[in-house]
Chain A
Amino acid sequence: MASIAHELAKKQKEISISEFFEKNKHILGFDSLTRALITAVKESVDNSLDACEDAGVLPEIFVQVDRVDNNEYRIVVEDNGPGIVKKQVPNVFGRLLYGSRFHVRAQRRGQQGIGVSAVVMYAQITTGKPAKIRSRISDEDVAYECELVLDTKKNRPQMVKEDFVIWEKEHGTRLEVNLKGKYVGGKQSIYEYLKGVAIVNPHARITFIQPDGGNVVFERSTEAMPPPTREVRPHPEGVELGELLNMTKYTEAKKMTSFLNTEFSRISLRVAREILDAAEISHNQRPSRLNLDQAGDIIDAVKKVKIMAPETDCLSPIGEGLIRKSLKNVLGETRASFYAPPVTREPKVFGGNPFIVEIGIVYGGQLSKENPVQIYRFANRVPLMYQQGACATTQGIENVDWRRYGLEQRGGKGIPFGPAIILVHVASTKIPFTSESKEAVANVPEIREEIELALKACARRLKTHLNKAEQKSKARVKFEIVQEIIPMIAQKSAKIVGKPVPDIAGTITKIMNVVWVEDEVTHIKKKHHVSVRLYNYTPKNQKLQLHMVLPYEKVDDGSLTLKPSEVRNGTKVTWNMKKVAPTEVFELAFDMKGLDGGEYEENEVFVSGIDPASVIGADVLPGDWDLEHITITEEKSVPEEAADEGEIDYDEGAEVIEDEE
């Protein structure tokens, strides 16, 4: 037996990381020809965007894919980032697990330092050709250019050729690789990936030259850089045992109190003492002496002590305003009828890592009604293209009962059907992916719960809109009847019987028997013109209050057709309407100046002082005057007109008579 063990020992040796990945390239997202191409673009673009953001430069990304021959493609990705100093170029592109971010707690696209070097490696394995890199930093006159391969046994770069070249770009990096792949269109394609990138990176401008020569430009929809994110120390909640012990080895702190205070966020000296007391550990113990049991005690103690929530300026959510603007910018061709106001939740924590969930919903237009909704998944501003089913974002969507929010869904579970796109963005200092290829967010309970809450909040906004649209279309039908058809019937019948045209006011109020509110907002010549018309189609005089939510300081006083009776908090405006007689109309109109077109798109009109059942086109004022979207009565059903005492509608007979001449 012993001899066998010795024999085996000879064969047992360290496998280099690069050798391991060469044999397991699926882990890195190179498992099929199609996917290899997308992954290569994705890793390079992620790097470019991170570089630009680190340097505070508005990203200008250029992507080109050419077909060299059969299934060999050339990919070029170029950015206007800060560039990479000559000494570091080989390490960044030719060495796996070499990175600057692995130990950093801040929201970044790349984290492990695998991505772009894996691209280089995959390229050389499949085509035998080296990667060509060019980079220029702003204080150099020329760009450095090199061709390199990766020595997979040693995990070290191997230079093939290097040179200095003239480059018109002031700074930036360009990567050119030849690799085996397959270029396709459709849902999982480079085009869709870049479209996703453009949606969650509204500050980036992306040019894409396709193999057939066609080029697409995703223009940026904002000139503002996302606020820079700060590195943060780990939050004590959710720190794991091994990690804690590790930290005690590297810390420079001499005492446990200062260790806790300096290595973690949100732990003041006072809190540190509280934790140590609870764990029954001496304040002055040397951190390196902390044993396993004690570490466990500290983790238990952390749960008992009240600690502030983690800092969140390490996160970079896209923000409600920009999500909407960016979706509109990129999805313009779908002519969607509604962009639900997006939802950016408050930051929450899992395992010591803060995270934020953001949701956007696009509805209607040319989006398909019969198909499942499209899901756009993002993690730290990176589109996720594969493993949709395994992703916590998808599972969150499947768990919501979308039937309550106006989408079809079999049995209230699963991906809903309807003309909608749902965007889910999870931002965190550490996204828990299900695997190294970073395509699916792991099902962490804290994250899943946040995703579901955010989805529901955004879906309520969609439902509010749909309810309103349905009410409006019903009202419009009635409007056509009373405004156009009844007057014509009156005229014709009078003509046939040879009598004067009758007064139809009585008939009209009987048909409608509602106050109909019709509102409109148009944005022309940098002015918003708002009009709210109130049609009294009831047999009585009506006197009621009208309420709107709008930035009142932007209202042009001179344009107001009626002065408001009250303005609360600068946004909640109330008008006391004058008496409106049956079949009469009153119009409230005004202009607003100094708002962006997108900043005010839909009026929020409420009424009070009238029976809610007799108003169409406006909601009844919520009891607390709290006009958050979320509080607007979501279960409210549109009142059905009662059928007349069992009369059968002649024109809506269900039977089809087919046997006739």
Chain B
Amino acid sequence: MKNEERHLKAVDRLTELAGDVYDQLVDRKIPKMSIPLRTKSNIRFDRRSGVWKYGRATGVRSAKKLTGAQMLLRTMYMLEFMEEMIRTNKSSTLREMYYISEGWDKAKFSAQDESNMLAEDLEIITNCMREDFKLRPEEDGARIMGNVTVMETDRKGKKKKINCRDDVGDSGYGIPYNVEKEKIGFVDCDADFLIAIETGGMFDRLVENRFDEDSHAVIVHLKGQPARSTRRFIKRISEEMKLPVCTFVDGDPWSFRIHASLAYGAIKTAHISEYLATPTAEYVGITASDILNYDLPTDKLNERDIQALNAEKTDPRFSDQFWKHEIDLMLQIGKKAEQQALAKYGLDFVTKTYLPEKLTELGIMR
């Protein structure tokens, strides 16, 4: 679908939504809106796509309650604002929209999380993407290093061919917020696999140790929880360049969730899991078993960590044997470890020993 068409479809959908509220008022009803519940109990595994999507459970946002009424009013303001942007061919960042709501009187958001969430609600209800509403995220600066050549269309419309190893500095190629076909194309890729790294320190370690060259790898820095564009980029490269993907993150419950949102789909954005998640991605580490096997320096789990682990035990995405075992083991030993704890055995240990061992075990490296 062309850009123009997508925006027009978005306008139609948004107007429909407003019309629905309008009709309820005319019918002397209390306006309400049904939205799929964005909770871990309402995600279902989709066999066809191999990712987790929302199930059938819906919640109701009703004007009967103050929060509901406020959210409905905000929805109306947001619809008007989006339609206006589409009409005047402008776009705004999520943060800008949050600030614009300053002028929305009772509909003003009290935190950016609220406006982000509502934008996602609208994606879910209208079946559109926030880009269709002319909303974009902040720059996130995730970066990539490896022998991949991309064709990027720059802001002047010029196509640039960039090799993500030879044409960039040591900080790698920055992934733009828009990674769709009209912006990014893949030209060539000479690598055996892609490894997604949680922390900048580890990314730089792998770059300095030339892991990309020596092991024929594409290295991506996730920068904590990966932004949509990073996840989308990884999914595309994995599918289009037939590149196996693995994640290498800290050994704690939050890092398990980073892997989950990259590989299985995030709970909050399960409506677009199919579009963002890479179901073939493998988890390299750090695992609780690694902590024991490699005798890594650790920190004690704090109360929040333990809560998070227990929550993961009822998260359907973590219900396979591997995760069950690792989560229980971590709770049992009561410890967590950072990626960089591997430096205990020297700076080269991670690239010379740990990764080769683990990746061979997973069948990614031979």
Which residues of A come within 8 Å of B, CB atoms?
477-478, 480-481, 484-486, 488-490, 492-497, 499, 502, 504-507, 510-511, 641, 644, 647-653, 655, 657-661
Please give the distance in Å from B359's CB to the nearest CB on chain A. Answer: 25
The CA of A190 and the CA of B21, in the complex, are separated in Å by 66
Is B64 within 8 A of A511, CB to CB?
yes
* A-B contact sample (12 more), CB < 8 A, given A489-B25, A650-B33: A481-B63, A488-B106, A488-B107, A493-B21, A507-B31, A510-B29, A647-B60, A653-B37, A653-B39, A659-B254, A659-B266, A660-B267
The chain B residue sitting closest to A498, CB to CB, is B15
Q: Is the interface of A mostly helix, strand, loop or mixed?
A: helix
Is B65 within 8 A of A489, CB to CB?
no
Is B63 within 8 A of A489, CB to CB?
yes
**Contacting residues, chain B, for A649 (C-beta < 8 A):** 59-62, 65, 68
The chain B residue sitting closest to A485, CB to CB, is B69
**Contacting residues, chain B, for A499 (C-beta < 8 A):** 22
Q: Which 7 A-B pairs have the closest CB atoms?
A: A506-B28, A650-B59, A659-B257, A492-B76, A496-B18, A493-B22, A660-B268
Interface centre among A496, A650, A657 (most CB of B within 10 A): A650
Answer whether A659 and B260 are a contact pair too, CB < 8 Å, given A485-B70, A651-B65: yes
Is B64 within 8 A of A661, CB to CB?
no
Instruction: Mark interface residues in B231-256 (1 if CB within 8 Å of A CB, else 0).
Output: 00000000000000000000000100
Answer whether A484 and B71 are a contact pair too, CB < 8 Å, given A496-B15, A507-B29: no
Interface centre among A480, A644, A659 (most CB of B within 10 A): A659
Q: Which of B4-26 contact A (CB under 8 A)?
A: 14-15, 18-19, 21-22, 24-26
The CA of A467 and the CA of B220, in the complex, are separated in Å by 59
**Contacting residues, chain B, for A486 (C-beta < 8 A):** 25, 31, 63, 69
**Contacting residues, chain A, for B61 (C-beta < 8 A):** 649-651
**Contacting residues, chain A, for B361 (C-beta < 8 A):** none
Please give the distance in Å from A270's CB to the nearest CB on chain B. Answer: 72
Among listed B77-85, B195-203, B329-337, B339-347, interface-contacting one: B77-85
The CA of A19 and the CA of B43, in the complex, are separated in Å by 85
Is A652 within 8 A of B225, CB to CB?
no
**Contacting residues, chain B, for A655 (C-beta < 8 A):** 39-41
The CA of A506 and the CA of B61, in the complex, are separated in Å by 19
Is A659 within 8 A of B225, CB to CB?
yes
Please give the distance in Å from B51's CB to the nearest CB on chain A. Answer: 15
Please give the distance in Å from B210's CB to the nearest CB on chain A. Answer: 30
**Contacting residues, chain A, for B68 (C-beta < 8 A):** 649-651
Answer whether A493 and B25 are a contact pair too, CB < 8 Å, given A658-B308, A659-B257: yes
Interchain CB contact (< 8 A) of B76 among A484, A493, A504, A660: A493
Please give the distance in Å from A648's CB to the nearest CB on chain B. Answer: 4
**Contacting residues, chain B, for A492 (C-beta < 8 A):** 18, 73, 76-77, 79-80
**Contacting residues, chain A, for B41 (C-beta < 8 A):** 655
The CA of A511 and the CA of B72, in the complex, are separated in Å by 15
Answer whether A496 and B30 are a contact pair too, CB < 8 Å, given A480-B66, A484-B106, A661-B266: no
Is A507 within 8 A of B77, CB to CB?
no
Q: Is B154 an interface residue (CB 8 A)?
A: no
**Contacting residues, chain A, for B260 (C-beta < 8 A):** 659
**Contacting residues, chain B, for A507 (C-beta < 8 A):** 24-25, 28-31, 63
The CA of A502 and the CA of B27, in the complex, are separated in Å by 9
Is B59 within 8 A of A657, CB to CB?
no
Please give the distance in Å from A17's CB to the nearest CB on chain B. Answer: 62
Q: Is B261 an interface residue (CB 8 A)?
A: yes
CB<8 Å pairs between A and B, sample of 25 = A484-B106, A488-B76, A488-B106, A489-B31, A489-B72, A496-B14, A496-B18, A496-B83, A497-B18, A499-B22, A504-B25, A506-B28, A507-B24, A507-B31, A510-B30, A511-B64, A649-B59, A649-B60, A649-B61, A650-B35, A650-B61, A660-B268, A660-B269, A661-B225, A661-B268
**Contacting residues, chain B, for A510 (C-beta < 8 A):** 28-30
Answer whether A477 and B66 are a contact pair too, CB < 8 Å, given A490-B25, A496-B80: yes
Is B83 within 8 A of A648, CB to CB?
no
**Contacting residues, chain B, for A660 (C-beta < 8 A):** 225, 261, 266-269
The CA of A112 and the CA of B64, in the complex, are separated in Å by 68
Q: Is B226 an interface residue (CB 8 A)?
A: yes
Answer whether A658 and B257 are a contact pair too, CB < 8 Å, given A486-B63, A492-B80: yes
**Contacting residues, chain A, for B105 (C-beta < 8 A):** 488
Please give the distance in Å from A64's CB to the nearest CB on chain B. Answer: 53
**Contacting residues, chain A, for B15 (C-beta < 8 A):** 496-497
**Contacting residues, chain B, for A652 (C-beta < 8 A):** 65, 67
Q: Is B57 an interface residue (CB 8 A)?
A: yes
**Contacting residues, chain B, for A489 (C-beta < 8 A):** 21, 25, 31, 63, 69, 72-73, 76
Instruction: Mark interface residues in B257-271 (1 if CB within 8 Å of A CB, else 0).
Output: 110110000111100
Is A502 within 8 A of B267, CB to CB?
no
**Contacting residues, chain B, for A505 (C-beta < 8 A):** 28
The CA of A481 and the CA of B106, in the complex, are separated in Å by 10
The CA of A488 and the CA of B107, in the complex, are separated in Å by 9
The CA of A497 and the CA of B15, in the complex, are separated in Å by 6
**Contacting residues, chain A, for B226 (C-beta < 8 A):** 661
**Contacting residues, chain B, for A647 (C-beta < 8 A):** 59-60, 62
The CA of A493 and the CA of B60, in the complex, are separated in Å by 19
Please give the distance in Å from A649's CB to the nearest CB on chain B. Answer: 6
The CA of A641 and the CA of B62, in the complex, are separated in Å by 13
**Contacting residues, chain B, for A484 (C-beta < 8 A):** 106
Is A511 within 8 A of B266, CB to CB?
no
**Contacting residues, chain B, for A485 (C-beta < 8 A):** 63, 66, 69-70, 72-73, 106
Is A657 within 8 A of B31, CB to CB?
no
Interface centre among B60, B69, B226 (most CB of A within 10 A): B69
Interface centre among B27, B30, B225, B226 (most CB of A within 10 A): B30
**Contacting residues, chain A, for B63 (C-beta < 8 A):** 481, 485-486, 489, 507, 511
The CA of A481 and the CA of B69, in the complex, are separated in Å by 7
Is B79 within 8 A of A496, CB to CB?
yes
**Contacting residues, chain B, for A504 (C-beta < 8 A):** 25
Interchain CB contact (< 8 A) of B26 among A502, A651, A657, A659: A502
**Contacting residues, chain A, for B221 (C-beta < 8 A):** none
**Contacting residues, chain A, for B266 (C-beta < 8 A):** 659-661
Interchain CB contact (< 8 A) of A657 among B28, B60, B228, B268: B268
Q: Is B128 an interface residue (CB 8 A)?
A: no
Please give the distance in Å from A538's CB to the nearest CB on chain B. Answer: 13
Is B60 within 8 A of A648, CB to CB?
yes
Is B19 within 8 A of A497, CB to CB?
yes
Please give the distance in Å from B8's CB to the nearest CB on chain A. Answer: 15
**Contacting residues, chain A, for B77 (C-beta < 8 A):** 492
Is B80 within 8 A of A495, CB to CB?
yes
Q: Is B227 an interface residue (CB 8 A)?
A: yes
The CA of A486 and the CA of B314, in the complex, are separated in Å by 39
Please give the distance in Å from A516's CB to the nearest CB on chain B. Answer: 15
Interchain CB contact (< 8 A) of A661 among B21, B25, B66, B228: B228
The chain B residue sitting closest to A655, CB to CB, is B39
**Contacting residues, chain A, for B27 (C-beta < 8 A):** 506
The chain A residue sitting closest to B230, CB to CB, is A661
The chain A residue sitting closest to B25, CB to CB, is A502
